[in-house]
Amino acid sequence: MVTLPAPFDSADVSAGLSWSRRVVTMTLRQPGQLHRCRYDIAWIELRESAPWRGAPHVHATRRDAPNAPRIAFTPTATKHVARDLLPVVVGDTFDRWWTSLHQARHSADPHRECAARARRIVEWLDLRIELADAYGRGHIALRPLSDDDRPRTQLIVDGTGRLVREELLAEASISRSHVGWLTRTGELIPDDDVLNGEPFAHPRTV
């Protein structure tokens, strides 16, 4: 959508917000020199002067050596950078460019993974309810673990919804078929296959 002049055409470009003002940041990761200012890495920002009004101005900073402090470009260099870039984003170009970059940044994938994790937790809790019901009806037998048994710990969902490891005390079975574990705190829990994203058969009580 926007054709940038060199060397900005090789920059990593991203969109964000700062104090409700839209910002497009160009990061120059290859060492170079821009209007007599040397840099090891440079950040060129197009910032709105007023929120959601367009008409950005340039803010330019750099490191002149690896691990050096971040410093501003000289006022003269910043003016030249503004002359290079601002004509490219006149009118509504900045608005459309920022929107396009911002939309690309907000992928749905992290939200899908969060939803999948929540579904796994719910399924694990459902299995835990089934085990508790089966135990209450006398269908579950417990076998204390020996020092040679593995695993000795397992993932569980704690009361706040976090995944934590719990030490195991005994194996739980129905008709000699493994269905879960008894923890050191006396909790009856299913395997953690579901929490790891693997299918797990519901306990059969008949």
pLDDT digits (tens, 9 = 90+) for 139-178: 999 999 988 877 788 889 888 888 888 999 999 999 989 9
What integer is the mean pLDDT of 88-100?
Answer: 91
pLDDT at 197: 64
Residue 94 makes CB contacts below 8 A (sequence gap 6+) with 22, 24, 46, 48, 54, 55, 56
Is pLDDT of 81 > 60?
yes
179/154 same-domain check: yes
Instruction: Count CB neighbours of 21 within 10 A.
Output: 15
What integer is the mean pLDDT of 41-48?
Answer: 96
**End-of-domain residue from the set 74, 105, 136:** 105
127/173 same-domain check: yes
d(CA 85, CA 62) in angstroms, rounded, equals 17
User: 139-158: string of b/e by CB count within 10 Å (b at 16+)?
Assistant: bbeeeebeeeeeeeebbbbe
Q: What is the pLDDT of residues 96-123, one digit of tens each?
A: 999 999 988 777 777 788 888 888 889 8
* AA letter at 49: S
101/117 same-domain check: no
- CA separation, residue 23 to residues 59, 68, 98 (Å): 10, 24, 8
Q: What's the domain range around 121?
A: 109-189
- The neighbouring-strand residues paired with 42 are 28, 62
- The neighbouring-strand residues paired with 162 are none
pLDDT at 199: 45
> How many distinct structural domains can be found in the chain?
2
pLDDT at 91: 80
CB 28 within 8 A of CB 36: no
15/101 same-domain check: yes
Q: For tokens 């089966």, what's the residue?
A: 134
Q: Rounded to 5 degrees, what angle do the CA atoms 115, 180, 160 make?
A: 40
Query: Looking at the domain assignment, is residue 161 inside a domain?
Result: yes
pLDDT at 147: 81
85/131 same-domain check: no
Query: Looking at the domain assignment, is residue 195 inside a domain?
Result: no
